[in-house]
Structures are given as structure tokens and as C-alpha cells.
Amino acid sequence: MKLKILQVREASGEVVSSPNIVAEVMREEAKADRECFWVLHLNGRNRIIEKEVVTIGCATNVVVHPREVFKKAILLGATGIITCHNHPGGIPDPSPEDREIWNRLDEAGKLLAISVLDHIIITASGGYYSHKSGRSFNNSTKEKGG
């Protein structure tokens, strides 16, 4: 068996201090024509280590499994993650299925001692929903950093 040494490089190094920053970092990904699910892997200072696409679905849903969400976080030594997925239909409000997977991921994060800092839904128009904030934001109501 050949052992490979894992090199961890900070993707953007951007400090994530608000859902608005996540929406900005994910602006291009929000334009996808089908639902996709990403994980932002963060170091102990909430800097982005890597942005990973975990799964790609269809126009109305995506299948997400905790094993796949946390696999790379463990390999990268991430201390926290933020999950993000797009709604191609343009409405950032979470579905019951979104809330169900978020609860599963929160529980898995607790078991693994990897903080799940937020779950964000993004849209191509720049709107987004932050589970942590419990509300949607659009272009005119974007949160200020912090």
C-alpha cells in the first residue's frame, strides 16, 4: 500500500463571519441549473480551507448523506463546516427535507466534534437563507458582516 501525504491548502482563506460572506463566496455556484450540495471546510479561525461539491442532484432535489459530507472534513482536519445548496427555482426557503437533513448533519457533527456552523440555501438572484439566522435575505436585505 502506498501512503500519500495529504497537503492542506486554504482555498480562498476567506474568513467566514456571516451568511452574507458565504452567499458571496458561492455566487457562481448558485447559478447551477440543478440542485448541488457543497461543504465549506473551515479551520479553527473560520477561514475556508476548501470548497467541496459533495453531490449533484436534479432540478428539484439532491441526495445528501452525512458520511459524504464529513469525509473530507475529517481528512482536511477541519474544525467546522458550513453546508450550502442551491435552489434553481429561485426561492431560498427551506423544504421539510432540507430541515430533516440539516438535523441529521448537526447530530453527526456533534458526534465527530466538527462544528456545523450554518446551513445556507443560495439562489442565482443573490437571495439566500441562513438556518442559523432563521430567515431569508435578498439583494436589498443582505446582512452586513459580523
Q: Angle CA(26)–CA(8)–CA(113) in degrees, nearest 5? A: 80
The phi-psi region of residue 55 (left if phi > 0; otherwise alpha if psi is between -120 and 50; otherwise beta) is beta
pLDDT band at 143 (very low <50, low <70, confident <90, very high): low
**Residues 83, 39 contacting (CB under 8 angstroms):** yes
Cα separation of the two ends of the chain:
46
109 in any annotated domain: yes
The confidence score (pLDDT) of residue 11 equals 56
48 in any annotated domain: yes
The confidence score (pLDDT) of residue 22 equals 95
The confidence score (pLDDT) of residue 66 equals 97
Question: How far apart (Å, rounded) are the C-alpha atoms in residues 32 and 144?
Answer: 25
The single-letter code of the amino acid at 142 is K
The confidence score (pLDDT) of residue 70 equals 98
1 in any annotated domain: no
Q: What is the CATH number of the domain that holds 38?
A: 3.40.140.10
Cβ neighbours of residue 58 closer than 8 Å, sequence gap 6 or more: 34, 35
38 in any annotated domain: yes
Containing structural domain, residue 49: 30-137
Number of domains into which the chain is organized: 1
- CA 145 vs CA 35, 47, 49, 84, 134: distances in Å: 26, 14, 19, 18, 16
76 in any annotated domain: yes
50 in any annotated domain: yes
For 115, half-sphere exposure in the C-beta direction (CA atoms, 13 angstrom radius) is: 10
Residue 145 has pLDDT above 50, yes or no: no
Residue 69 has pLDDT above 50, yes or no: yes
Greater model confidence, 8 or 68: 68
**Taking the model in full, what pTM does it have?**
0.85
Mean of the per-residue pLDDT values of the chain:
89
The phi-psi region of residue 71 (left if phi > 0; otherwise alpha if psi is between -120 and 50; otherwise beta) is alpha
Most confident of 15-19, 52-56, 136-140: 52-56
20 in any annotated domain: no
Residue 139 has pLDDT above 80, yes or no: no
120 in any annotated domain: yes
Residue 50 has pLDDT above 90, yes or no: yes
Residue 127 has pLDDT above 80, yes or no: yes
